[in-house]
Structure 1
Amino acid sequence: MARRKLSHEGTLLLDSEGLSRLLNDDETVVALVAEARSRGMEVAISALTIIEAVHRRTDKARLNRILSGVRVIAVGDEEARRASALLMDAGLHGHKYAIDAAVAEAALRQRRPVVLLTSDVDDMTKLCGGRVHIVAV
């Protein structure tokens, strides 16, 4: 497997798939998070990612340990308005892409460079444009 390079500084943001894989000890995601931290990058998630990633079989103790080590980004009124604008600009509908838009909005306002771990590469590229480095997981 080719090693993905992460920048020094900046932010590593996980979407729901990134968080789910971290919860499941996915080797690639665990390694990317460890590398990001070793390079001084902040690891973060949107608060809405928790809602999207958690299910009945989620190990709650593990979830709490992981959440204690990442910055959880709140989503308020202003963030929701900016996420809605991203949806309109990308020609996407909030019914299907609301959480993606909130994650993209959060990514766009983090300390640069921003790396986003996601399984929704096409959607996140539409929402973030070239302003965020998208990494498929």
Structure 2
Amino acid sequence: MARRRLSHEGTLVLDSEGLSKLLADDEQVVALIAEARSRGMEVVISSLTIIEAVYAGTNKPRLNWVLSGLRVVPVGDEEARTASELLMGVGLHGHKYAIDAAVAEAALRQHRPVVMLTSGIDDMVKLCGDRVRLVGI
């Protein structure tokens, strides 16, 4: 499998699928994260991503170890309001897209260039526009 190249420096954001695949030691995701780190990129997730990715079968020691190597971006009042504005701006509803909006909001305020590993390319294109490079996983 050919590895995808990421930009120099900046930030790599994982959505819930990215975190889930990292927890499962997915070869492609592990390789992309290793490459990002070798290029000086910081790897981040939204705090809400943890909620979305974790389930009853999650290996808690593995989760804790993986999270210790990521920067977890909190979602407070200001971030929630900005995420809501993103949703309203593209005509999406928070009931279905709340966590995607929080992930997009977190990505948009990171050190550029920003790359996101995501399974929701269509939704993230709407929320992030061309300000975040999206890599499908």
Q: TM-score, normalised by structure 1?
A: 0.99
Instruction: Determine the C-alpha separation between the residues in 2 that align with 1:90 and 1:108.
Output: 15
Identity %: 77
Gaps in structure 1 of 5+ consecutive residues: none
Instruction: Determine the C-alpha separation between the residues in 1 that align with 2:126 and 2:116.
Output: 13
**In the alignment, which residue of structure 2 is the partner of 1:65?**
65
**In the alignment, which residue of structure 1 is the partner of 2:120?**
120
Q: What is the deviation of 1:46?
A: 0.2
Runs of 4+ in 1 over 4 A off after TM superposition: none
**In the alignment, which residue of structure 2 is the partner of 1:10?**
10
* SS of residue paired to 1:131: coil
Instruction: Determine the C-alpha separation between the residues in 1 that align with 2:37 and 2:62.
Output: 19
**1:92 maps to 2:92:** yes
* SS of residue paired to 1:130: coil
Gaps in structure 2 of 5+ consecutive residues: none
* SS of residue paired to 1:30: helix
Instruction: Determine the C-alpha separation between the residues in 1 that align with 2:108 and 2:34.
Output: 22
Q: TM-score, normalised by structure 2?
A: 0.99
